[in-house]
Amino acid sequence: MLLGLVEWVVVGVIVGFIASKVVNLRGDDPRLGMGAAVGGAVVAGILYAVISGAGVTPWSPWALVFAAIGGVVGVLGWHVVRSRSISKKGYVARRSY
C-alpha cells in the first residue's frame, strides 16, 4: 500500500514539475503547482483504487495513468484559481536592479 502512495506522489511531482515549466506562473512559487499536482494525483489514485476494486498496488500501469491525469487536473485547477486572483490591470514586468 505504501509503495502505491509513493508512486502516486512521484507521478504528481513529475507532472507538477513539467507543468511548472510549461505554464506561465507569473511570479508564483512553482512548489505550489507541484503540490496541487501531487494532491490531484493522490486523489485520482485513490479514486481508481475504489472504483476498480484493485486496491492500492505498486507499479500498476493504469494507476499511473489515472495519477497522471489527476495531476494534470490538479495543476489546471490551481492555474485557473491562481489566474483569476491576479489583477491583469497593474501587471508590470519585473526588472532586475
- Report for 10-14, 23-27, 92-96: range of highest mean pLDDT: 10-14
Q: What is the pLDDT of residue 27?
A: 63
Is 45 in contact with 74 (CB distance < 8 Å)?
Answer: no
**How confident is the model over 72-92, as pLDDT tens digits?**
888 888 877 877 666 555 556
83's grid cell? 489566474
Query: What percentage of residues in the chain have a pLDDT greater than 90?
Result: 0
Instruction: Please give the Cα distance from 65 to 15 (Å, whole number).
Output: 11
80's grid cell? 485557473
Angle at 74 between CA 14 and CA 11, to 5 degrees: 25
Q: What is the pLDDT of residue 58?
A: 63
Instruction: Please give the Cα distance from 34 to 55 (Å, whole number).
Output: 25
Q: What is the pLDDT of residue 26?
A: 63
Task: Indicate whether this model's pTM tops 0.75.
Answer: no
Average confidence (pLDDT) over 16-32 = 72
Residue of 16 and 40 predicted with greater confidence? 40
**At residue 18, does pLDDT exceed 60?**
yes
Is 71 in contact with 11 (CB distance < 8 Å)?
Answer: yes
69's grid cell? 491525469
